Structure 1
Amino acid sequence: MDSSIQPIDRVAFELGPITVYWYGVIIGLGALLGLWIAVRESERRGLGKDTFVDVVMWAVPIAIICARIYYVLFEWDFYSKHPGKIIAIWEGGIAIHGALIGSFLTAFIFSKLRGISFWKLADIAAPSIILGQGIGRWGNFMNQEAHGREVSRSFLENTLHLPDFIVNQMYINGVYYHPTFLYESLWDLAGFVILMLLRRVNLKRGELFFSYVIWYSIGRYFVEGMRTDSLMLTSNLRIAQVISLVLIALSIILIVYRRKTGLAEKRYLEG
């Protein structure tokens, strides 16, 4: 064990009795940048500039709560014995799929109350969501979590050509690990670029969102297979991989179904 390698301090700063962790700061920055992009796009698409601010005011806290509940439920063996840890979200332990469920339901109810097309909201939000996810994975980096299996330092330096700050942060309890947080982050950022380009293709309404779901789920399926901290459905089935496959299939089915039945009448740039 190389005692000269010290992990990055998880604490960003302290305000009296309040401790602010990098995990929360990074996730917050991802959410704010995503919101800024969504607001600009919603204005371009004829929605009020406050529309997405109002959505996010509800969606973010609900998404965080749902993400934590999702994680806790699948790790109930641990949390049933340590109930005081259930709210310790600053230690990590939120599930993206739980957050997506919470955000989806919130946006759906919001759209009905405001009389706005849900699919229009979903399309506008899609690039922002995947950008936020890509940035948010660096919160896992700060917590030294969401990593893969054991590797050598040579692999990280000479094969992946990673900078020292990433290599050193992947040194955990005397072992180097695959930076799977980085793989997923890069996949998400590439997805953001692709979705921003697809906006100009003028897909049918809802299909930009489905494209996001498909792209993200493909990357998540493969990255999840490399991780060592997956939530498990059974001893052999990783929950995130099962959900990813279901979401890919469901998205493709809905694209075809909505086109054939005429439910996807409008295109992204219409109305």
Structure 2
Amino acid sequence: MISALSIPSPGEEWRAFNLGQWLRDIGLSWFSLDITINAYALCILLGIAAAVWLTHVRLTRRGAEPWIVLDIALFAVPLGIIGGRIYHVVTHPADYFFPGADLLRVLYIWEGGMAIFGALIGGAVGAYIGCRVTGIRFWSFADALAPGLLIAQAFGRLGNWFNQELFGLPTDLPWGLEIDRPNAAIPVGLPEDVLFHPTFLYEIVWNLAGAALLLLIDARLRVQWGKLLGGYLIWYGVGRSVFETIRLDPSELFLGVRVNVWAAWAAVLLGIIIVIVQRRRHPGAEPGPYVAGRGWTPEAGVDSEAVYTETDLAGNDAALVAEKSGAPSATSGPAANA
């Protein structure tokens, strides 16, 4: 039942913004194009931008070339988006493959449907390629990226709120989420005023708390060699395995358990393995963010004593003229050495 603390969902008018129409409304009638900006896509892009910026800051502090993260992102971001979409479509086939379905909707990522586990797989492949190209150590990049990943995922969950999707089971809790009708994810027969678990909000809070925790741990312990990435996988996997069990959207099952719960458990296991193996293989500190034979040296600052002024140049010219004529100059002889 709707209460004073229940969370409203954005209406249809908030899910997309027609930039072209807005420009015409403010007097630019010559602008004839209709450019639609979807809230979900905007949230994804903001998340990517936040992760790239934070990774840049952290990687630069470790000694990497400023903004080299962009060179890696050119590979990681597209492959991450492709991987996330493929994973979502494969685990939700009934949403895209049915009699009379428009198969092109598989490509409509702005409508929602990006699976983080697929994005992690695709993004990891892209990041590995980018690191090979730039010479950045993969584990250095992964550790620098780990907190930003959680922040990016928090932005992505905000996009789910705009789309009114991936919400949880019905709840009597006062902070339940209001969902507009009709909605295909709502089971038939539920009362119109029923509220649902705001799983998007649960995961936003969990992800932001995890990002803060990883940053704190790294600041105090200087976690390297991929161990911070392992911590990310453990933190996110634990939270996702819980939130996934209260989601209402249909999902493929394996042995009676949602596929994404299995994926979350796999993430936890992989994170534990990374931490244990890397602690044994690399007990010391990383030699730097670059692999052997690759590196970057900041350009040396200009020595103020080596800067030539106009007076210096004029004196040099006078000395050169005097030398050719055989006459003493103001920059030579006893007076010059006084």
Q: For 1:232 and 1:226, how far apart are their aligned partners in 2?
A: 15
Match of 1:18 in 2: 35
Match of 2:243 in 1: 223
Match of 1:185 in 2: 204
Match of 2:77 among 60, 75, 78: 60
How far is 1:265 from its partner?
Answer: 4.4
Q: Percent of aligned pairs with the same residue?
A: 34
Note the aligned Cα RMSD (angstroms).
2.3
Q: Deviations over 1:243-263 (max 9, x none)?
A: 111121222123222323x2x
Read off the aligned partner of 1:14 and give its amino acid letter.
Answer: L
User: Judging changes above 3 Å, is the alpha-carbon distance between structure 1 residues 235 and 150 closer, same or farther for their aligned structure 2 residues?
Assistant: farther
How far is 1:72 from its partner?
Answer: 1.0
Q: For 2:131 and 2:121, how far apart are their aligned partners in 1?
A: 15
Aligned residues: 256
How far is 1:266 from its partner?
Answer: 4.2
Map 1:80-119; keep pairs closer than 5 Å. Answer: 80-81=97-98, 82=101, 83-119=103-139
Q: 2:107 aligns to what SS in structure 1?
A: coil
Q: For 2:197 and 2:203, how far apart are their aligned partners in 1?
A: 12
How far is 1:112 from its partner?
Answer: 2.0
User: Judging changes above 3 Å, is the alpha-carbon distance between structure 1 residues 10 and 23 closer, same or farther for their aligned structure 2 residues?
Assistant: same
Q: For 2:225 and 2:71, how far apart are their aligned partners in 1?
A: 22
Q: 1:146 aligns to what SS in structure 2?
A: coil
How far is 1:184 from its partner?
Answer: 0.6
Q: For 1:39 and 1:239, how far apart are their aligned partners in 2?
A: 33
Q: Deviations over 1:70-111 (max 9, x none)?
A: 111122244233212111212111111111111111111221
- Alignment of 1:198 with 2:203, yes or no, is no
Match of 2:285 in 1: 267
Q: Is contact 1:224–1:230 with CA below 8 Å preserved after alignment?
A: no
How far is 1:7 from its partner?
Answer: 4.0
How far is 1:39 from its partner?
Answer: 1.1
User: Judging changes above 3 Å, is the alpha-carbon distance between structure 1 residues 120 and 177 closer, same or farther for their aligned structure 2 residues?
Assistant: same
Higher helix share: 1
- TM-score for the superposition, normalised by structure 1: 0.86
Q: Is contact 2:229–2:271 with CA below 8 Å preserved after alignment?
A: no
User: Judging changes above 3 Å, is the alpha-carbon distance between structure 1 residues 100 and 269 closer, same or farther for their aligned structure 2 residues?
Assistant: same
Q: Deviations over 1:35-54 (max 9, x none)?
A: 11111111111111121111
Match of 2:52 among 24, 35, 42: 35
Match of 1:149 in 2: 169
Q: Is contact 2:83–2:121 with CA below 8 Å preserved after alignment?
A: yes
Read off the aligned partner of 1:10 and give its amino acid letter.
Answer: R
Q: For 1:231 and 1:266, how far apart are their aligned partners in 2?
A: 43
- TM-score for the superposition, normalised by structure 2: 0.70
How far is 1:11 from its partner?
Answer: 1.0
Q: For 1:90 and 1:270, how far apart are their aligned partners in 2?
A: 39
Match of 1:250 among 270, 273, 286: 270
User: Judging changes above 3 Å, is the alpha-carbon distance between structure 1 residues 109 and 101 closer, same or farther for their aligned structure 2 residues?
Assistant: same
- Alignment of 1:79 with 2:96, yes or no, is yes
How far is 1:195 from its partner?
Answer: 0.9
Q: Is the radius of gyration larger for structure 1 or structure 2?
A: 2
User: Judging changes above 3 Å, is the alpha-carbon distance between structure 1 residues 221 and 26 closer, same or farther for their aligned structure 2 residues?
Assistant: same
Q: 2:19 aligns to what SS in structure 1?
A: strand
Q: 2:113 aligns to what SS in structure 1?
A: coil
Q: 1:86 aligns to what SS in structure 2?
A: helix
5+ residue gaps in structure 2?
A: 3-7, 21-32, 183-191, 290-338
Larger deviation, residues 88-97 vs 217-226: 88-97
Match of 1:122 in 2: 142
